[in-house]
Amino acid sequence: MALLVEKTTSGREYKVKDMSQADFGRLEIDLAEVEMPGLMSCRTEFGPTQPFKGARITGSLHMTIQTAVLIESLTALGAEVRWCSCNIFSTQDHAAAVIARDSAAVFAWKGETLQEYWWCTERALDWGPGGGPDLIVDDGGDATLLIHEGVKAEEEYAKSGKFPDPSSTDNAELQIVFGLIIDGLKTDPKKYHKMKERLMGVSEETTTGVKRLYQMQANGTLLFPAINVNDSVTKSKFDNLYGCRHSLPDGLMRATDVMIAGKVAVICGYGDVGKGCAAAMKQAGARVIVTEIDPICALQALMEGLQVLTLEDVVSEADIFCTTTGNKDIIMVDHMRKMKNNAIVCNIGHFDNEIDMLGLETFPGVKKITIKPQTDRWVFPDTKTGIIVLAEGRLMNLGCATGHPSFVMSCSFTNQVIAQLELWNERNTGKYEKKVYVLPKHLDEKVAALHLGKLGARLTKLSKDQSDYISIPIEGPYKPAHYRY
Amino acid sequence: MALLVEKTTSGREYKVKDMSQADFGRLEIDLAEVEMPGLMSCRTEFGPTQPFKGARITGSLHMTIQTAVLIESLTALGAEVRWCSCNIFSTQDHAAAVIARDSAAVFAWKGETLQEYWWCTERALDWGPGGGPDLIVDDGGDATLLIHEGVKAEEEYAKSGKFPDPSSTDNAELQIVFGLIIDGLKTDPKKYHKMKERLMGVSEETTTGVKRLYQMQANGTLLFPAINVNDSVTKSKFDNLYGCRHSLPDGLMRATDVMIAGKVAVICGYGDVGKGCAAAMKQAGARVIVTEIDPICALQALMEGLQVLTLEDVVSEADIFCTTTGNKDIIMVDHMRKMKNNAIVCNIGHFDNEIDMLGLETFPGVKKITIKPQTDRWVFPDTKTGIIVLAEGRLMNLGCATGHPSFVMSCSFTNQVIAQLELWNERNTGKYEKKVYVLPKHLDEKVAALHLGKLGARLTKLSKDQSDYISIPIEGPYKPAHYRY
Amino acid sequence: MALLVEKTTSGREYKVKDMSQADFGRLEIDLAEVEMPGLMSCRTEFGPTQPFKGARITGSLHMTIQTAVLIESLTALGAEVRWCSCNIFSTQDHAAAVIARDSAAVFAWKGETLQEYWWCTERALDWGPGGGPDLIVDDGGDATLLIHEGVKAEEEYAKSGKFPDPSSTDNAELQIVFGLIIDGLKTDPKKYHKMKERLMGVSEETTTGVKRLYQMQANGTLLFPAINVNDSVTKSKFDNLYGCRHSLPDGLMRATDVMIAGKVAVICGYGDVGKGCAAAMKQAGARVIVTEIDPICALQALMEGLQVLTLEDVVSEADIFCTTTGNKDIIMVDHMRKMKNNAIVCNIGHFDNEIDMLGLETFPGVKKITIKPQTDRWVFPDTKTGIIVLAEGRLMNLGCATGHPSFVMSCSFTNQVIAQLELWNERNTGKYEKKVYVLPKHLDEKVAALHLGKLGARLTKLSKDQSDYISIPIEGPYKPAHYRY
Amino acid sequence: MALLVEKTTSGREYKVKDMSQADFGRLEIDLAEVEMPGLMSCRTEFGPTQPFKGARITGSLHMTIQTAVLIESLTALGAEVRWCSCNIFSTQDHAAAVIARDSAAVFAWKGETLQEYWWCTERALDWGPGGGPDLIVDDGGDATLLIHEGVKAEEEYAKSGKFPDPSSTDNAELQIVFGLIIDGLKTDPKKYHKMKERLMGVSEETTTGVKRLYQMQANGTLLFPAINVNDSVTKSKFDNLYGCRHSLPDGLMRATDVMIAGKVAVICGYGDVGKGCAAAMKQAGARVIVTEIDPICALQALMEGLQVLTLEDVVSEADIFCTTTGNKDIIMVDHMRKMKNNAIVCNIGHFDNEIDMLGLETFPGVKKITIKPQTDRWVFPDTKTGIIVLAEGRLMNLGCATGHPSFVMSCSFTNQVIAQLELWNERNTGKYEKKVYVLPKHLDEKVAALHLGKLGARLTKLSKDQSDYISIPIEGPYKPAHYRY
């Protein structure tokens, strides 16, 4: 990769699509700020003391307008920031432009190649000779992954002089990562070690990324503390659920203009994301069928009047398929071949391996007709019928629409800010070990509380007597840790 | 107006934004055809006999992809077609391009001025020296209006030699219409009479246009037969209701990305359109308040758990306002001044006078900030708060999104095709006088039946015995005329 | 039949189950009055002038608490009233008791035999030597039927001296009617003619009864004017729809305590009643399948996300079956034999012939186990599986629960009062011929308006300018006659 | 208390209302068994090995038909059972009768006094000279409370010779408990110690009871192991949520027949129970307002389109009030005085102190009019307006209807059976200390799995490859412990 890094007049680096969109980005940021009371309230509460003074924060998180408000909240609290997106299609170019111009180093554009994607990630992590960031804001764990793979490779190299072997994996992305690390090894064989040394911790946003962190914790390979922001109630039960309830139909409509009412929609997986997706489709007048491996989630779907079947049962009858599982190999090319003409296939889970894109792309004689960017019709040679695949199997709500709306992202991102503050403030106290933590309940409740006023809500207050009776402090926290909401 | 009419290599006239979008238009037409079984079935059923052979059809109807499928259904049945849009913002430029290239004379682009709009209408009606069209497909009644105003002016001119006086009205559009007619009078003082002579009738699509027709019928001024397509059940109870249920959130999301859940949405009017809008907002998690003049519709809203209040009661608390009344002066500038910062104001009724755009534009010191086309923030000078107005007060679903989805438009447009066939086939029989007609029940039921297979439905069939018992023919019609569905 | 008619101390006749329940009835009437603002408002508006002074009103309408409020509204306006129920299971015995004690002659109890049922109907119609009632309030048309059959038989008898022949029909009820008429012929061969002479008209409440009236109008056999109350919007679009949405789950729960969530519910028919039933089942978490003959209604069901199939398609998979068609022979014994063990079969249409009770009762070896009144388990001898039939196939909401709630019945019954007033006030003007009429729109709107205050609604008022613009009077009516709501 | 204990011919003790209802109870049990696949499956799986052979189980849990199926599942597995209800109004007398006749010692009837209630509890715990039960099935913790209070009193008595002092508390129930314990102390001052010695543990069913247990655990006063069945996902996220969604409207309809559509319903508390209640009211067409202390739950309500206000804000506008908080003093008499005439006030939380019944009963001049059992109208002397209180402030779904339906109770009760088996099987292993435990995830999932077949669901199965990818065993458990569903 020999991409050109550009610089603002003040010398800050960036690589974005089109700087002329910055003004448009600023206008949309202005709107978004009104919808993001949690973040704005952090600026009011913490801004004056500049708690992030001296902190370098790297983010790997969809470079949208909402993220722009997050970034400017971090800088408003004193941080220096470098940013990349965590998905090749999720960047909003006007958001990237305005942040690059006004606030932080950004390396992101809509429609990156995988090579470009990892180049951006590496750029966001590279703060120059002094090593990497103090803190990482991660979504899906790619920034975290790169450091872990880098450190592992450097150790092996130090021991055996061997580079990592891209041919040892058939995962195309990992091959690219190895290539990137090899480049690093050639210039500085301690590059990722230096990053690791400086790093105070990561706050991770997504189910998928959190799963990776817990696996590393279990294996004892986690290199720094991690705060699991995903499992804040005000994240997973809001962003994942209500965010997707909003953005699945949004993506479908922008990509295909298809009438949802009357259609049969198959939602693969009925976790928080699946619940939001199924609710959206049902409300829009579709008949919804859920696939699930977990009997509890399946029973929940049934209680909402949804049918629970296997994909094989319904593959030839349904009109819309959406994967939300966090697992791989959910909709295979053999499924796609059996679908109705112009069935819509999309994914709203973090990674693109829920849909067998490779199987589709390599199917003999298959023809890809791009209706418009992120909306492709794939025609099978024998049946002459086609299916419509959105965002090439990647997050369709970010690829085909603009992701989750500001208000719900304000919940998620306020958790991020609080987690980052926590890691930074406790950087010298030893409070956080190389483990995965969730935020304490009272901070979770605080995030919620910051979002009530905007919606005109008025909370009831416990009396002293009531507080004693149920043994709950008047100011909370109001629920035990295991409470499920 | 001195706009240049272009011609295809085959000599067909057009004026569109960008011919290079024609291929994209064709791809989207291909998708839409799969979603429009009613229209495709008309092609199969009637195409072979070319019933419209020799017929000239002028359409004044949003030039979208769905309309493109309608136009090509008319041409597939043998018609020659000239087309314009019935709204300055509703044209999809790729749809206009492909139709202009492949199928009909088109005069339409997104973002016409009012002058351009009426120029387009006049172009669509003008078939050259031989007079005008045989048939009109109308939406909102502007093509019908132009002919009626033209004929009236010509009569006055023949009588008194006087031109119509633009200064006699403060309706800006009518002033333009008068100007257009004056131009006509100068070149051919019988132009609109000739049109009227040739014209077999109009089929009208929309509540608003139908209201005009019934008024003309009542006044005895209707110049030709009219079929009220709007009041086919398969039109008003589908397009108006389910179409808006789909396209209101679509428009809101594309224009503002605002989270609908948790917001207070005020729907002004609870007719078919209002019902669809209210349902959409409720389903998306908003709290919905309805304003109504009609106690029956108000009681329906209450039965659905919606609050019924006046606009004044809620103007300062709500987040989203949408007018659906078909009346004028619903949201005035004084209302807008009392709204919350960044309240969203939009209209989904046919005409743009539901929202007091004039009052807003002329408010002293008001500042208009265009976020993006069709999304403007208006800031009041004293409060510094702003409201967001969509599509300049015009149909927001067509201005900010792509209008109603193909499937429901297939219902509406199949009614249009059937109505056009009816007018044409009976052109010499005297069946239709200068009155307003609705299609007979059995044709309405047929339209519905054509759309069931696509959704996998299977109808039950009456036995002879059951048919006798309830005195309903086995093949329908199944309901009396007054049945409300 | 030799049933004993009892008399109150004031000499008013009655036959009810248990007079000691009168106090309980009064308490429930007190509650109901608060929920029936339309009827109470009629008392306020018309009570002082006693418009029904001298009028004899016979009612054949479910003798429930809500009907009690109707009856006392009629008497509050000056009428004398005799009443019977229009269904053998629908009487609430405490309602019958209190009305018998306080307000009107009542012949009704829960669980009449068919013989008893028609005896009650005849008692309600028989006002003694002076002939019958001046007005009839009918529901399902049985009082109207009896007079028509009576007159027909008397004419035949006058001509040929022949009695009607019960063996000429295999309809068990008609045989009973014939028997009753024969008894009449023997005592007074002009009995029904005298009734007919006196009668000013009938107001009919239900889809089924209205259908009969239109058939008689078409055949030219209608003997007196009829007002079709059913097709007031404030009746059919409220009582039929929202009433059933309330009372179907109510009946199911009281009869079987079954969990509705997760079940598959088949609703036969998607008219107003079916729409209410389907909505109720969907909202309670069932998966709903609709059967329909009418493609328009079928398409409506699809737009709400419901599946449309034939009964045969789903008979062995569903858990709950409810008929709402107004037709006969919908669920036959052969269907029932294929159902799952303990499938619930019920009817909410007016007549009990939607379910093949005869086929079930006469099925060889079938065993009926009465769980409790109106809840029977029928076990087939071969499969040993059973189905649960509610209310012996009659209106399950009245047989197993208490029918529709007061508020919605207030809408229906206010229409009844207004219709009765209209017939009575115009009795000498010739305004009403022997035809079927609907109430004018402004009265329909008035009924709605009377119910808004209770629910806290505030209507918007047209300005003069707006009124002119849309050519609608400020005070209404607001919609054309064909408007569908 | 000198209540007479009766005995069956086989010598088993009981005290129920009416043994003649036993046959009716059996018929309803037969129906319920078909709806309770989890329990029936336990009989199939465990019955043959009689794991409860020799175990004495005491239950304190609403003596309904569903509980009857639970009891007979325990006896089918070999247990001896004694039972009482945990609420004075919740017993279904036919259920009590049939269990008393056929299966277990029962002390329960609908409408116990508090004195009788605690007598029943004590009877159920008293297994004669050999001490108490081996295991307790508890709901609300009253059986557990009695033993804990008994032991405490016995300790004090052993130390000081003092009886507990009823006048030391103004809690009327606790006074009765003290009286009961005093009676015990007089006959056997080690009675409760003996119980405690024998007892292997308790499985507790309800949020409220579980809260007590955790408090005792925290205080170190818990005397035996406890399994928190409430926090099995298949309990709290099903019974509490979907059960109440079913039974709140059921109770309202049976008690008042009120139309829910169009009304304003206030749900106090938005936990699992409140979520179910709010969903039910919304779906039935009410406008729902939620009161909450917890900002997270409040934000959830807002996302569903519900308004969040304080009770004071809405007390004079709403029609229906339902408490679900688990806290006390939610609706006070001062609130009730401000309510609309005939506002409905009810509680669906475990204890009756959510509504200030004492304040109401002692309000000067207030008049109580019993419409029917569990439905009382209370009229205030000054305003002459009344409110309707259901079930005297106790669990309205059990007092006014029949509680939760069988299917969802099958989930809860299968957890109970599994918990009881666990406590019994591990009675000698030391696995369970004097702490509160939840069931392991795989058993929770098993409960769900047992209920899928009945609803026709088909689960998807992980491939080996997928299982490895997400590090989840093919057979589950599928989620981490902190997962919220």
Q: What pLDDT score was predicted for residue C279?
A: 98
* DSSP codes joined into one string, B412-447: HHHHHHHHHHHHHHTTTTT---SSEE---HHHHHHH
- Binary contact (A288, C305; C-beta < 8 A): yes
Question: Could you tell me if D95 and D19 are in contact, meaning their C-beta atoms sit under 8 angstroms apart?
Answer: no
Residues in chain B within 8 Å Cβ distance of D286: 305
Please give, rounded to a whole number of angstroms, the shortest distance from the CA of B371 to a CA of chain A: 6
Residues in chain B within 8 Å Cβ distance of C465: 328-329
Characterize C368-393 residue by residue with b for buried, 16 or more Cβ atoms within 10 angstroms of its Cβ, and e for exposed. eeebeebbbbbebeeeebbbbbbbbb
In the residue annotation, A232 being an active-site residue is answered as no
Q: Is the pTM of this model over 0.90?
A: yes
D227 is in an annotated binding site: no
- Integer-rounded Cα radius of gyration of chain A: 23
List of chains touching D (3+ CB pairs within 8 A)? A, B, C
Question: Could you tell me if D28 and D65 are in contact, meaning their C-beta atoms sit under 8 angstroms apart?
Answer: yes
Per-residue confidence in pLDDT tens, chain C, 485 aa: 669 999 999 999 999 999 999 999 999 999 999 999 999 999 999 999 999 999 999 999 999 999 999 999 999 999 999 999 999 999 999 999 999 999 999 999 999 999 999 999 999 999 998 789 999 999 999 999 999 999 999 999 999 999 999 999 988 899 999 999 999 999 999 999 999 999 999 999 999 999 999 999 999 999 999 999 999 999 999 999 999 999 999 999 999 999 999 999 999 999 999 999 999 999 999 999 999 999 999 999 999 999 999 999 999 999 999 999 999 999 999 999 999 999 999 999 999 999 999 999 999 999 999 999 999 999 999 988 999 999 999 999 999 999 999 999 999 999 999 999 999 999 999 999 999 999 999 999 999 999 999 999 999 999 999 999 999 999 999 999 999 99
Residues in chain C within 8 Å Cβ distance of A304: 261, 285
Q: What pLDDT score was predicted for residue B130?
A: 79
- Is a pLDDT exceeding 90 seen at residue A199? yes
- Binary contact (B264, A456; C-beta < 8 A): yes
- Is a pLDDT exceeding 70 seen at residue D1? no
Question: Could you tell me if C138 and C170 are in contact, meaning their C-beta atoms sit under 8 angstroms apart?
Answer: no
Express each pLDDT in A472-485 by its tens digit: 999 999 999 999 99
Same fold, A6-234+404-443 and A259-349+352-393: yes
D239 is in an annotated binding site: yes
Q: Which among D244, D247, D204, D250 has a CA at the least distance from the CA of D224?
A: D204
Q: What pLDDT score was predicted for residue D129?
A: 83
Q: What pLDDT score was predicted for residue A192?
A: 96
- Is a pLDDT exceeding 80 seen at residue A248? yes
Q: What pLDDT score was predicted for residue B107?
A: 98
Quick check: helix, strand or coil at residue D362? Answer: coil
Q: Which among A63, C337, A327 has a CA at the least distance from the CA of D462?
A: A327
Pick the catalytic residue from D62, D246, D282, D335.
D62
What residues form DSSP beta bridges with B106? B14, B83
ipTM attached to this prediction: 0.96
Which residue numbers of A belong to the known binding site for NAD(+)? 206-208, 271-276, 292, 348-350, 397, 404
Q: Mark out the alpha helices in A220-271 (DSSP H runs).
A: 233-235, 244-256
List of chains touching C (3+ CB pairs within 8 A)? A, B, D
- Binary contact (D246, C259; C-beta < 8 A): yes
| Closest Cβ opposite residue D295 in set A298, A459, A463 | A459
Q: How much is the mean pLDDT over chain D?
A: 97
CATH code matching the domain that covers D6-234+404-443, chosen among 2.30.30.90, 3.30.70.580, 3.40.50.1480, 3.30.70.3450: 3.40.50.1480
- Binary contact (D288, B282; C-beta < 8 A): no
D344 is in an annotated binding site: no
Closest residue in B to C245 (Cα–Cα): B303
Q: What pLDDT score was predicted for residue C130?
A: 79
Residues in chain C within 8 Å Cβ distance of D384: none
Pick the catalytic residue from D282, D404, D446, D451.
D404
- Is a pLDDT exceeding 80 seen at residue A1? no
- Binary contact (D369, C27; C-beta < 8 A): yes
- Binary contact (C261, A305; C-beta < 8 A): yes
Closest residue in D to B304 (Cα–Cα): D285
- Binary contact (D24, C245; C-beta < 8 A): no
CA–CA separation, B130 and B54 (whole Å)? 13
Pick the catalytic residue from D66, D247, D415, D416.
D416
- Binary contact (B484, C237; C-beta < 8 A): yes
Q: How many CB pairs under 8 A join A and B?
A: 119
Please give, rounded to a whole number of angstroms, the shortest distance from the CA of D27 to a CA of chain C: 6
Q: What pLDDT score was predicted for residue C1?
A: 61
| Closest Cβ opposite residue A371 in set B28, B264, B405 | B28
Quick check: helix, strand or coil at residue A105? Answer: strand
In the residue annotation, C239 being an active-site residue is answered as yes
Pick the catalytic residue from C73, C87, C90, C374.
C90
- Is a pLDDT exceeding 80 seen at residue A2? no
Report the alpha-carbon angle C328-C330-C333, nearest 5.
110
Instruction: Return the CATH superfamily for domain A259-349+352-393.
Output: NAD(P)-binding Rossmann-like Domain (3.40.50.720)
Provide the token pair at B340: 């919350």
Express each pLDDT in A424-470 by its tens digit: 999 999 999 999 999 999 999 999 999 999 999 999 999 999 999 99
Q: Which residues of chain B carry a pLDDT beneath 70?
A: 1-2
Question: Could you tell me if C405 and C243 are in contact, meaning their C-beta atoms sit under 8 angstroms apart?
Answer: yes
Per cent of chain A over pLDDT 70 is 100
Q: What pLDDT score was predicted for residue B1?
A: 61
Which amino acid would we find at residue A72?
E
For an interface test with B, which of C230, C267, C283, C293 has the most B Cβ atoms less than 10 Å from its Cβ? C293
Closest residue in C to B463 (Cα–Cα): C329
CA–CA separation, D10 and D7 (whole Å)? 8
Closest residue in D to A216 (Cα–Cα): D471
- Residues A358-382: what's their mean pLDDT? 97
Residues in chain A within 8 Å Cβ distance of B262: 407, 455
Strands B201-204 and B226-228: parallel
Per DSSP (E only), the strands in D326-474 are 343-347, 367-372, 375-379, 386-390, 436-437
In the residue annotation, C235 being an active-site residue is answered as yes
Torsions phi, psi for A79 (to 5 deg): -80, 155
In the residue annotation, C404 being an active-site residue is answered as yes
User: Which residues of C make CB contacts under 8 Å with A?
Assistant: 261-262, 282, 285-288, 299, 302-307
Q: Which among D275, D264, D267, D375 has a CA at the least distance from the CA of D322?
A: D267
CA–CA separation, A153 and A195 (whole Å)? 14
CA–CA separation, B436 and D169 (whole Å)? 82
| Closest Cβ opposite residue D295 in set A449, A471, A482 | A449
B350 is in an annotated binding site: yes
List of chains touching A (3+ CB pairs within 8 A)? B, C, D
Domain ranges of chain C: 6-234+404-443, 259-349+352-393
- Is a pLDDT exceeding 90 seen at residue D2? no
Q: What pLDDT score was predicted for residue B290?
A: 98
Which residue numbers of A belong to the known binding site for substrate? 64, 139, 205, 235, 239
